A and B are shown apart, each in its own frame.
Chain A
């Protein structure tokens, strides 16, 4: 006859190792990107619906279209280049900090050395390009306003401000994350923690770059 044991098995739980923390952070980021995606899917849906809506002209009592396509400032193309380049730098920064973390572990083993480190400040360069991009977006807004397109001028200009502004707010989050990684580096805080922040921010940054290209295509080709 079978018998039952009611003595529970337990194992000691230590803090999660680097790999677990990295995987968890990446999973968290993947989950976090879902509502961001839903936000822009909703805006896209609204964009398509609003574009096809007629409005009543009270003078003629007929239905007319009020969607006036906005000529996008050429500056947006330069900004796109800046952001794509920053994404490339971000990837190099991610690999750099990962290498530093690996080197730190290897250096603690007697007789093992992985050689010199890469001194190029990719992270700082990404940060600078990110700020340039945001400044460029602000300048593009000013150009739009100078050409007579304000936020409420026409539904298409409303969407230009809405989409570029919402994207900029999200990218600003990435800039702040980079700043925190930079400050952590300057203060000499935990390398593993910093490498996780940089890794996750890098994936976020790439997502933001891709999202911006999508937004630009939507505004340029679907208007």
Chain B
């Protein structure tokens, strides 16, 4: 399909129309509003997503700091919030999780870098539907504004956790924040779903239909494969979350009983009956587990890319990596029940979900093995993108190892409501994905802004983040095994947890230091945009198409031309080649003279 020019029903356009379109194709808009605000250029839209995620991540981190402070000094009044009540603490938990999962982990890797680089890496001038692409960003932005607005309405933001479990989330009188704040939370997520679906539509159509000549599916960089499969996951998952949200809104506002059984709240019958809280859990986790892979797959693709580039070796087992991405995507839809082992599920059903969950370890292990195979014997360049790629693999393995524990119902029932679970998912889904975002930033910054980031600051940032992450989240596993429950706001006065409080304090100190380390990144990012060393077109000597075009790329990416692809994406150390790499667009081997 790629590169084709005709469908089954070809009708020639008028010459005039062709000429007008040709003139428009290469000229970027000039006005500020059209160029930077309501831009149709996928690169600008990618940057918009990126900076939205940057704002969101600092909001999310701030909330997590407030939580950490309260956990170890519960009587201290917090900035902006004053004295913290248990329900306020739950609000912080809810908003931290929601903002991080939706507006950071889903937004930056896919919406940010995917938007910017997918079309360039396949040799396309833009996304398939630029207007839809713009709408996708502004819809996501609107979702973020609505989410933040929940803090400022009567009752404040909701307290039902990022998973929004019913009936807590389905009845307005269950607590402060469960009134208008919870409605805004649901509406925000519904808006986000619509934006994400528009984005997924563009990613899939662009990948299938706009690849340059010679860019076969099996010549696509693994980053493109990852964005493509992530888009498919989003396409299948966000529609389900949207449906779940509509039912939840109806329960809350129209008196229906999809999720709410006959219950009393504060001694009063709610008027609902017959609904099933488990129905929400099934619908939510049918989205929720693929969401883990929506967050992590782009980072996997990027790690594959970077380990090859900075080891100066072809990726080990390209086809196996592609099939592993597909396998992870497929199995990601089969395992949602492992989030519900506590729900009274039949042991036979739990066993099936457990086996499927264990099964997802196979493609994950293939990827890890191939990453190690890629760097084995390589001439490794320890530049900052490579440091973060290695950091990603480390976090993925460390977080992944605790996965099989939680995949077993008998262990999960013990560990599920303890700190073991936040330790696990923060390592494998949260910070691993964030490391992918950092790696992508350091790697593609020269192409996006035409300047290099400061390498010394990048290294300091890496070590702060890497050591800090382990210092925060590894001890959580021990807290969990020792029986410290999660979601509780105040545990300093609980006798059996008393000996664990010093460890909680250590985590809080580590969080302070690690978040302070992120300021190095922030300074480096903005300083380098204006003062960084000028970048050449291909500073990392990489092979994929984005490094063949100007820096930063022109409006239509290749200046009115389309590259022709002759090689795979990871041609390093090719015998007889004049350099140690062969670009994808190089014609390659010519007959001997």
User: Residues on A close to B: CB < 8 A?
Assistant: 1-20, 22-24, 26-28, 31-32, 34-39, 41-43, 45-46, 49-50, 53-56, 58, 66-67, 98, 101-102, 104-105, 108, 151-152, 155, 158, 162, 166, 190, 192, 195
Contacts and interface: CB of A to CB of B under 8 A. Distances in A.
A142 B179 CA distance: 30
Nearest to B17: A190
A28 B200 CA distance: 10
Given A13-B561, A31-B235, 9 more contacts: A1-B592, A5-B587, A18-B12, A35-B242, A41-B240, A42-B239, A42-B243, A108-B14, A155-B257
Contacts of A108: 14
B236 interface: yes
Contacts of B282: 45, 49
Q: Which of B11, B200, B286 has the most CB of A within 10 A?
A: B11
B578 interface: yes
A9 B578 CA distance: 18
A60 to B, nearest CB: 13
Contacts of B576: 1-4
Contact of B244 (A11, A26, A42, A152): A42
Give 10 closest A-B pairs by Cβ, nearest first. Answer: A55-B274, A38-B239, A35-B239, A15-B21, A152-B255, A42-B243, A19-B6, A23-B7, A19-B7, A19-B10
B243 A50 contact: no
Contacts of A36: 239
Contacts of B239: 34-39, 42
B4 interface: yes
Interface stretch (B204-212, B476-484, B500-508): B204-212
A152 B270 CA distance: 13
Given A9-B564, A15-B22, A31-B204, A4 B5 contact: no
A9 B563 CA distance: 6
A151 B208 CA distance: 42
Nearest to B23: A15
Contacts of B273: 55-56, 66
Contact of B586 (A5, A22, A43): A5
A2 B258 contact: no
Contact of B561 (A5, A11, A15, A23): A11
B235 A13 contact: no
Interface string B246-268: 11001000111110011000000
B577 interface: yes
B493 interface: no
A13 B244 CA distance: 44
B279 interface: yes
B585 interface: yes
A158 B209 contact: no
13 contacts: A2-B589, A8-B563, A12-B560, A13-B560, A17-B10, A17-B12, A19-B6, A23-B1, A28-B201, A31-B235, A66-B273, A98-B11, A104-B14
Interface residues of B, number: 82
B586 A13 contact: no
A20 B6 contact: yes
Nearest to B584: A8
A41 B562 CA distance: 41
Contacts of A1: 576, 592
A155 B87 CA distance: 32
Contacts of B17: 190, 192
B454 interface: no
B548 interface: yes
Given A54-B274, A102-B11, A49 B22 contact: no
B254 A152 contact: yes
A7 B578 CA distance: 12
Contact of A3 (B128, B129, B250, B592): B592
A9 B587 contact: yes
Nearest to B263: A56
Contacts of A4: 574, 576-578, 582, 586, 588-590
A173 B276 CA distance: 32
A11 B256 contact: no
Q: Which of B200, B247, B577, B590 has the most CB of A within 10 A?
A: B247
A31 B201 contact: yes
B556 interface: yes
Contact of A155 (B10, B258, B585): B258
Contacts of A49: 276, 279, 282
A134 B587 CA distance: 58
B279 A166 contact: no
B275 interface: yes
A142 B563 CA distance: 60
Interface in B548-575: 548, 556, 558, 560-564, 566, 574
A42 B239 CA distance: 8
Contact of B125 (A13, A55, A102): A13
A25 B385 CA distance: 37
A8 B543 CA distance: 12
Given A4-B577, A152-B255, A34 B235 contact: yes
Contacts of B588: 4-5
A11 B264 CA distance: 70
B498 interface: no
Q: Which of B10, B208, B243, B258 has the most CB of A within 10 A?
A: B243
A2 B592 contact: yes
Contacts of B128: 24, 27-28
A158 B250 contact: yes
A63 to B, nearest CB: 10
A101 B9 CA distance: 11
Contact of B11 (A19, A24, A155): A19
Contact of B213 (A11, A35, A55, A101): A11
A121 B243 CA distance: 37
A37 B583 CA distance: 41
A27 B276 contact: no
Contacts of B238: 35
B574 to A, nearest CB: 8
A50 B236 CA distance: 22
Nearest to A5: B587
Contact of B13 (A17, A41, A58): A17
Nearest to A158: B256
A185 B427 CA distance: 56
B25 interface: yes
A10 B240 contact: no
Contact of A53 (B8, B246, B276): B276
Contacts of A7: 586-587
A218 to B, nearest CB: 15
Contacts of A34: 235-236, 239
Contacts of A24: 128, 205, 209-210
